Amino acid sequence: MSTHTVTITDNRSGKQAEFDIIDPTIGSPAIDIRTLHGQLGLFTYDPGFQATASCKSDITYIDGDQGILLYRGYPIEQLAEQSNYLETSFLLMYGHLPDPGEYDEFVNIIKRHTMVHEGVKQFFNGFQHDAHPMAIMVGVVGALSAFYHDSLDVTNPRHREISAHRLLAKMPTIAAYSHRRAHGLPLPYPRNDLDFIENFMYMMFSVPTEEYQINPVAVRAMRKIFILHADHEQNASTSTVRLASSSGANPFACISAGIASLWGPAHGGANEAVIRMLEEIKDPSEIPKYIARAKDKNDPYRLMGFGHRIYKNYDPRAKIIREACNDLLEVLDSSNQPLFETARELERIALEDEYFLERNLYPNVDFYSGIILKALDIPLNMFTVIFAMARTAGWISQWLEMMEDKEQRIGRPRQIYTGATQRDYVPLSQRR
């Protein structure tokens, strides 16, 4: 029971009620307003959840003012430097870094689930050849629930774990297939002798006529991108997954809903939008024109890859990815260097501009991740798919946590009704 409380007074009626303050381990405390309506007959109004905690969570902590991001307490900088994606996924799912035995077992389990049912492959032929791979992802991941009936009882913890493993393991296969379908390439089987990232690159780029050569520089850069995108607490897509599952829906359908939410340009679609923006700017001399558009209240144009709901100082992921981008472009061919130069110049000019400073608009993780992906020859329309694959670790961890949380109920926000008051139906013949 909290020892801190807050008293709310309704000035209209003079009624008062006391509410507990819930203290987190770190971060801002929250007022427990669950009885607010019962006590004062009031709702809270918070579109976009700017000040509302929808759950308690042990998984990820963000301090937006200090630019801190922790997965299960571990700083993102340490994980990006020293961990790998599957170890980070284990950490997110189970709450601790695996010991060597746990790690080997987890890697083997994930490897054993990378293939998709042969029937799932038929779906890829049904899509238009020019379908956006995110559209394919939404469809195929949702369709998995039609194939894996044996793990759909969400009240059974073992079923939940198997579904989580399946989602994590099959996402790269589905992602690579959605790319290959667009290019008329055969769908290869995953390779268990490769690690998670290597296998994804192999499924994306191998051709049956040649032996596939792994590029360790590309794998290293991709590993970093995966770790940096693995979780980000209650963002739009994660909240979508939680809201969808709050009704007891199966995890394949719920993760598909998360993918749909991620697709938007304000969220995961931003990495694709950044490259389109930089290509449109073309020359650094054009930057002031685009900055002026972004500042113009009458123009909906925004600088893609800038701004974040939580980070108001800097995005720690952007700092890591900017350095990785620098390192990568030094060793890979330099054809993407001009794009990187334009990005750096855009960042420099924006960060000297009052408009961006006043609003705390800094480059976010997607500002530089697109340049890395482009340098690795990943097609533009696959950028958000890669974000979705990486975020799957976070989505399933948040879902597993939510399913164990006794305080969670079906998600059902309230509203402030602003429509017509009650009125009588008028028959069509009497309406003018």
Using the rule CB under 6 A, is 307 a contact of ligand CMC? yes
Give the span between the Cα atoms of 396 and 357, in whole angstroms. Answer: 36
* Pairing mode, strands 16-22 and 74-75: unpaired
Q: Long-range contact list for 51-57, CB < 8 A, 24+ apart?
A: 53/234, 54/234, 54/239, 54/242, 54/411, 55/234, 55/242, 55/402, 55/405, 55/407, 55/408, 56/22, 56/405, 56/407, 57/233, 57/234, 57/398, 57/401
Using the rule CB under 6 A, is 397 a contact of ligand CMC? no
Using the rule CB under 6 A, is 240 a contact of ligand CMC? no
Q: Are 377 and 222 in contact (CB under 8 A)?
A: no
Using the rule CB under 6 A, is 270 a contact of ligand CMC? yes
Using the rule CB under 6 A, is 304 a contact of ligand CMC? yes
Using the rule CB under 6 A, is 258 a contact of ligand CMC? no
Give the span between the Cα atoms of 221 and 369, in whole angstroms. Answer: 10
CB of 145 to ligand CMC, least distance (A): 25
Using the rule CB under 6 A, is 260 a contact of ligand CMC? no
Nearer to ligand CMC, 152 or 175 (CB): 175
Give the span between the Cα atoms of 165 and 196, in whole angstroms. Answer: 13
Q: Dig out the tokens for 62 from the structure.
A: 């963000």
Q: Are 146 and 184 in contact (CB under 8 A)?
A: no
Using the rule CB under 6 A, is 163 a contact of ligand CMC? no
Residue 299 annotated among the catalytic residues of the structure: no
Using the rule CB under 6 A, is 361 a contact of ligand CMC? yes
Using the rule CB under 6 A, is 303 a contact of ligand CMC? yes
Using the rule CB under 6 A, is 388 a contact of ligand CMC? no
Active-site option among 113, 132, 232, 267: 267
Choose which of 88, 145, 235, 384 interacts with ligand CMC (CB under 6 A).
Answer: 235
Give the span between the Cα atoms of 73 and 414, in whole angstroms. Answer: 33
Residue 267 annotated among the catalytic residues of the structure: yes
Judged by CB under 6 A, the stretch of 6-14, 307-315, 335-343, 400-408 that binds ligand CMC is 307-315
Size of the residue set binding ligand CMC (CB under 6 A): 21
Nearer to ligand CMC, 170 or 267 (CB): 267
Q: Dig out the tokens for 133 from the structure.
A: 């791979």
Q: Which residues are bridge partners to 71 per DSSP?
A: 60, 74
Q: Classify each residue of 257-281 as buried b or exposed e, where b means 16 or more C-beta atoms within 10 Å of its C-beta.
A: bbbbbbbebebbbbbbbbbebbeeb
Using the rule CB under 6 A, is 309 a contact of ligand CMC? yes
Q: Dig out the tokens for 55 from the structure.
A: 């759950």
Give the span between the Cα atoms of 392 and 169, in whole angstroms. Answer: 10
Active-site option among 165, 232, 308, 315: 308
Nearer to ligand CMC, 90 or 306 (CB): 306
Using the rule CB under 6 A, is 359 a contact of ligand CMC? yes
H helix or E strand, kind and range, residue 176: helix 157-182
Residue 308 annotated among the catalytic residues of the structure: yes
Judged by CB under 6 A, the stretch of 34-42, 117-125, 303-311, 328-336 that binds ligand CMC is 303-311
Binding mask 43-82 for ligand CMC (x = CB under 6 A): -----x----------------------------------
Residues contributing to the site for ligand CMC (CB under 6 A): 48, 232, 235, 266-268, 270, 294, 302-309, 359, 361, 364-366
Q: Known catalytic residues?
A: 267, 308, 366
